Chain A
Amino acid sequence: MSDASLNSDLVRQSAATLATAIARGEVSSEQVTQAHLDRIAEVDGQVNAFLFVDPEASLARAREVDAQISSGIIASPLAGVPIALKDLLATRGVPTTCGSKILEGWIPPYNATIVERLESAGVVSLGKTNMDEFAMGSSTENSGYGPTHNPWDLERIPGGSGGGSAAAIASFEAPLAIGTDTGGSIRQPAAVTGTVGVKPTYGGVSRYGIVALASSLDQAGPCARSVMDTALLHSIIAGHDPRDSTSINAPVPDVIAAAKSGDVRGMRIGVIKQLQGEGFQSGVISQFNAALEILAGLGAEIVEVSCEHFQYALGAYYLILPSEASSNLARFDGMRFGIRVGDDGQHSVEQVMSATREAGFGAEVKRRIMLGTYALSSGYYDAYYGQAQKIRTLITRDFEAAFAQVDVLVSPTAPTTAFKLGAKVNDPLAMYLNDIATIPVNLAGNCAMSLPAGLAPEDGLPVGFQIIAPAMADDRLYKVGSALEAALVDKWGGLLIDEVPSL
């Protein structure tokens, strides 16, 4: 086998397969890492999934893991496998920009908890991935460093905010990636790139070291090309962290066992009435319905469930998120880290802070900071932020009532397939509608997965199928997801991602 074909073979393998081969000594982590670095060098000029790669550092780390493995220490079921990290994770000694110019050149002096967990699991970082600035967006067009392109069609968006992570996986630049999901930023990119992404239960994965967008909504999670790979990554990053006060101090549900079982016989699956029909593309609905039929054929009972207050979720979300974000992003003031603009010795601290933020933040960030500042300001708090928090209660109650009847809920992940770059940049309201099906989960704090349901007949682009489970029942996502995936693999003769055009 020539080097080139060995490399192209390696990058198309699942993380589980790579980990097994590395553990058995059939291939080294260094070879696997090199293959992915080569792939990045080859295609990232077109995709722009990565903001930072340091091949020497990645290879050095891979060699360390190889040495460990040859001495008999296999740190985890993913030891030696490379990963791409969303640029929202603080990485010691490695630039972290959050897709923003305001952090250009900033090198964190500490690691996020997730990064430490991955390191001790022997997972090798390939670099940092592109994203909408501070995770504000659904298309990765709001990055301060240019948009990421969807490998299915380079003219189209890869979803957002974690478009870089999803595109890296879909273009075989990495087998695994970390995303963060505040309103759908893991699931919607997964849907439009034909990959798998999970937003774990709020508090299931530590937020320490993840640059906050909206603290009560943010949750980091795994991205991969198959349900099993997602489960393997999930089990490594999840679990209690004393440095995050909102981290859940309880055992992590056994997602790997659930992904292995893939049995939905006797399960009750609820279709959310409010998340279909108007506003949803016809091919999205048809592929969603086809997947429901498969699940019914596997022995699940499909029922329709109504969640009356979901229609208010978008409104509540676009008050809570900007409010928390306006406060979380206050610290980007040019005083302790990041860029500083306009400090000529004449201007005051207020003027320099304002000039720095004006120059460093992009339009969407400024728009949301203004909206949040307004929603929290005296006289408006009760009508906006206070009211939005009550809607949150009503949505949580809708979920509770629904889960009293069914084991999981399902819906299309996003109302449409990937749209053209630039199509919605000047229409924030149209852009916000992308997250209509993913937002309720973030408001209530429970968990959800997106996995490919097929290609929409009208445009041949991937459609995402969303599975939603109660808080701390993340295993149910994997049970249902792996059942559907196995049936689809049988039908197609492989994963949907195998259909992605070669770049």
Chain B
Amino acid sequence: MTTTSAFESVIGEFDPIIGLETHIELGTNSKMFCSCSAEFGGDPNTHVCPVCLGLPGSMPVVNRAAVESTIRMGLALNCSIASWCRFARKNYFYPDMPKDYQISQYDEPLCFDGYLDVTVVTDDGPQIFRVEIERVHMEEDTGKLTHAGGAGRIHGATHSLVDYNRAGIPLIEVVTKPITGTGRYAPEVAKAYVAELRDLMRALGVSDVRMEEGSLRCDVNVSLSRDGEPWGTRTETKNVNSLRSVERAVRSEMLRQADQLRSGERIIQETRHFHEETGDTTSGRSKEQAEDYRYFPEPDLVPVAPSAEWIEQLRTTLPEVPSVRRVRLRDSWGISDFEMQSLVNAGALNLIESTINAGVSEQAARKWWTGEFSRIAKERDCELEDLSVTPADILEVEILIASGDLTDKIARTVFEGVLAGDGSVTAVIDARGLKVVSDDGALLAAIEQALAEQPDVAEKIKSGKIQAAGAIVGAVMKLTKGQADAAKVRALLFEQLGVTE
């Protein structure tokens, strides 16, 4: 982690206080209050009905799955679950909001008072920061505005077009209490928290959290205080939509506020916009003339009053939480806490695990993701998961390395080609003139032998655990002294076992 000296001097003088409000779209089949499809995209205004268009007379009905997802998320975040709570109307006029109010929750959130522990690598090794959760509640998303006549921006636009397909998609909003005591690690804690939240949602299966589709949106609150003085005025940077941006937004806002305070100016309570290109924030609407939302209990919906039995039943459906899973993987892979935390912070954990599941050795999987791929991601200023390389690609290359058909160095060139969009592993190898031998008869014999040697693996594959195929493919590669085409072996193996991939 690079820390500029400017940042160091901010830390010397101020304590940051951060807070995060995160909106995540739930992965339900239908919308929050109507039966329209909640699928991403679709032709404009094709996933709409009287309810999500806000037509006069229409009425909302709550999606049970959305309530259950929110309760499960609350339980995973160690929250208390309200025994009785209501939806509220948040009233304000905006053309992307069909009813000119949003159905949300106000002073009666479904889940409240929880926490999430996040680990950040500090100069003294990995350190746990407890992020306290104020509330988790349900609400609905708005429609999508496209601005016309102003280079696609709201500024200078002559008019806008509205697609209500997204209006009414269930959202879960997770709000932290003010996070103090993070000092120089405030940006990393913010990022680690959002990453952890994302992993939790995925582990729970309540959302895929497709960040590139804007299904996770963060509002980042930052204020500074001098030692022993009360907290300063906070700013709220809106719609920060990637992990890296969360970190950068906190950092740049700390720097900006420190500059401002040092020159004797006061911080204005306002919303700010984050700019991906520069990493800066700029002033938005001043909160001093804040909207008066005129919240009141939603009379068209009855209270949500989950019984203790319902909550306990939902508790039994919670999967292994990410922190427990990390301990398990750390032990199974035999690595240190520090190494594990580096993998997590790099966003490599899931990728490594699925690469191992594809049949690659633990060591090789870690090596590729934390080495070559991390370097390329950094160069491209993107997340590891955004790279277009798959576990199957890595397996294919690993097998070729094991068979001596590729050297480690050439393998890197192969991946460079794959990541540059030059085609599949095979296509890139072909383009570089690498000849891979294939002979169905000899291969089938080798597959039979490998299956006979590992009957338990054969059973696993037949029962549908196709990731176990890696062990057989590896054995075949050994038997054929690396002369075989891994993809071909895989295909023949599945054919042999009558399994479809």
Q: Which of A67-126 contact B (CB under 8 A)?
A: 89-90, 96, 98, 103, 106, 108-110, 112
Contacts A109-B50, A215-B300, A376-B296 given; does A209 touch B57 at CB 8 Å:
yes
Q: Which of B49, B57, B100, B300 contacts A333 (CB 8 A)?
A: B100
Residues of A with C-beta under 8 A to B56: 90, 96, 98, 103, 106, 108, 211-212, 331-332, 337
Residues of A with C-beta under 8 A to B95: 333, 335, 349
CB of B101 within 8 A of chain A?
A: yes
Tell whether, in the assembled complex, residue B54 and residue A376 are in contact, meaning their CB atoms are under 8 Å apart: no
Tell me, in angstroms, the Cα distance from A244 to B51 when the chains sit together.
Answer: 11
Q: How far is the CB of B52 from chain A (nearest CB, A)?
A: 11
27 contacts between A and B (CB under 8 A): A90-B57, A96-B56, A98-B56, A108-B50, A110-B50, A110-B58, A208-B58, A209-B50, A212-B56, A212-B57, A215-B299, A215-B300, A216-B299, A242-B61, A245-B61, A245-B62, A323-B296, A324-B299, A326-B91, A327-B101, A336-B54, A336-B55, A345-B159, A349-B160, A376-B91, A376-B295, A378-B294
Q: Which of A208, A214, A246, A377 contacts B57 (CB 8 A)?
A: A208
Chain B, residues 65-103, CB within 8 Å of chain A (1/0): the string is: 000000000000000000000000101010100111100
Q: Which of B57, B59, B98, B302 contacts A108 (CB 8 A)?
A: B57
Contacts A109-B55, A245-B60, A245-B301 given; does A327 touch B292 at CB 8 Å:
no
Residues of B with C-beta under 8 A to A3: none
Q: Which of A98, A210, A243, A331 contacts B54 (CB 8 A)?
A: A331
Closest 8 CB pairs of A and B: A330-B100, A215-B299, A376-B294, A216-B299, A90-B57, A211-B56, A209-B57, A211-B57
Shortest Cβ distance from B293 into A: residue: A378
Tell me, in angstroms, the Cα distance from A480 to B95 when the chains sit together.
Answer: 51
Shortest Cβ distance from A334 into B: residue: B95
Chain B, residues 292-313, CB within 8 Å of chain A (1/0): the string is: 1011100111100000000000
CB of B263 within 8 A of chain A?
A: no
Shortest Cβ distance from A216 into B: residue: B299
Contacts A330-B100, A333-B93, A349-B95 given; does A110 touch B296 at CB 8 Å:
no
CB of B53 within 8 A of chain A?
A: yes
Contacts A208-B58, A245-B60 given; does A327 touch B93 at CB 8 Å:
no
Q: Which of A244, A327, A333 contacts B296 (CB 8 A)?
A: A327
Residues of A with C-beta under 8 A to B49: 110
CB of B500 within 8 A of chain A?
A: no
Tell whether, in the assembled complex, residue B91 and residue A331 are in contact, meaning their CB atoms are under 8 Å apart: no
A-side interface residues, number (CB < 8 Å): 45
Residues of A with C-beta under 8 A to B50: 90, 108-110, 209
CB of A458 within 8 A of chain B?
A: no
Residues of A with C-beta under 8 A to B57: 89-90, 108, 112, 208-212
Q: How far is the CB of A15 from chain B (nearest CB, A)?
A: 26
CB of A235 within 8 A of chain B?
A: no
Q: Which of A227-248 contact B (CB under 8 A)?
A: 242-246
Tell whether, in the assembled complex, residue B62 and residue A377 are in contact, meaning their CB atoms are under 8 Å apart: no
CB of B3 within 8 A of chain A?
A: no
Tell me, in angstroms, the Cα distance from A349 to B160 when the chains sit together.
Answer: 9
Tell me, in angstroms, the Cα distance from A139 to B368 when the chains sit together.
Answer: 79
Tell whether, in the assembled complex, residue B59 and residue A244 are in contact, meaning their CB atoms are under 8 Å apart: yes
- Range class of the B interface residue count: 20 to 34
Q: How far is the CB of A246 from chain B (nearest CB, A)?
A: 6
Tell whether, in the assembled complex, residue B55 and residue A110 are in contact, meaning their CB atoms are under 8 Å apart: yes
Q: How far is the CB of A350 from chain B (nearest CB, A)?
A: 7
Q: Which of B54, B93, B302 contacts A245 (CB 8 A)?
A: B302
Tell me, in angstroms, the Cα distance from A89 to B54 when the chains sit together.
Answer: 15
Q: Which of B277-296 contact A (CB under 8 A)?
A: 292, 294-296
Shortest Cβ distance from B51 into A: residue: A243
Tell me, in angstroms, the Cα distance from A168 to B62 when the chains sit together.
Answer: 38
Q: How far is the CB of A366 from chain B (nearest CB, A)?
A: 16
CB of B158 within 8 A of chain A?
A: yes
CB of A403 within 8 A of chain B?
A: no
Given A208-B58, A330-B100, 19 more A-B residue pairs with CB atoms under 8 Å apart are A98-B56, A108-B57, A109-B50, A209-B57, A216-B299, A242-B61, A243-B61, A244-B59, A244-B61, A246-B302, A324-B296, A326-B91, A327-B89, A330-B91, A331-B98, A331-B100, A337-B56, A376-B296, A377-B292
Tell me, in angstroms, the Cα distance from A173 to B301 when the chains sit together.
Answer: 37
Residues of A with C-beta under 8 A to B53: 336
Q: How far is the CB of A137 from chain B (nearest CB, A)?
A: 18
Residues of B with C-beta under 8 A to A90: 50, 55-57
Q: Which of B21-62 contact A (CB under 8 A)?
A: 49-50, 53-62
CB of A373 within 8 A of chain B?
A: yes
Question: Of A209, A332, A335, which is in contact with the most chain B CB atoms at under 10 Å from its CB?
Answer: A335
Tell me, in angstroms, the Cα distance from A161 to B57 when the chains sit together.
Answer: 17
Residues of B with C-beta under 8 A to A327: 89, 91, 101, 294, 296
Q: Which of A38-68 contact B (CB under 8 A)?
A: none
